[in-house]
């Protein structure tokens, strides 16, 4: 049995941004587990991906300040205003 192909990294980051936005719309005050939001992709995402993408989104200013890494390789968060603006801009182009 071969390992599943890793999907395009940028597409997965964008998918997480979209899912964070959608989760924020349902619960604007809660922090959302990256692993839970991406559970349907768990078989193709390596364990370190969640912390790596946290670092990337944080560096871009796309995560709310309350966002954080969790034990076990998970992270949780909400989108920042910059993250929401990024998605709106991407959807308009």
| 23-81 per-position pLDDT tens digit | 999 999 999 999 999 999 999 999 899 999 999 999 999 999 999 999 999 999 999 99
* 3-state secondary structure (DSSP) of residue 54: helix
- Given CA atoms 38, 41, 46, 52 in this order, what sign does their dihedral have? negative
CA 14, distance to chain mean position in Å, is 7
- Given CA atoms 24, 89, 81, 76 in this order, what sign does their dihedral have? positive
**CATH no. of 9-92:** 1.10.10.10
> What pTM does this model have?
0.89
For the chain, domain boundaries: 9-92
């Amino acid at each position: 049995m071969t390992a599943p192909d890793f999907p395009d990294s940028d597409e997965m980051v964008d998918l997480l941004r979209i899912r964070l936005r959608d989760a924020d719309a349902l619960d604007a005050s809660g922090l959302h587990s990256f692993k839970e939001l991406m559970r349907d992709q768990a078989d193709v995402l390596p364990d370190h991906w969640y912390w790596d993408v946290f670092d990337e989104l944080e560096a871009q200013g796309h995560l709310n300040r309350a966002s954080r890494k969790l034990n076990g390789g998970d992270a949780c968060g909400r989108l920042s205003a910059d993250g929401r603006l990024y998605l709106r801009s991407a959807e308009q182009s």
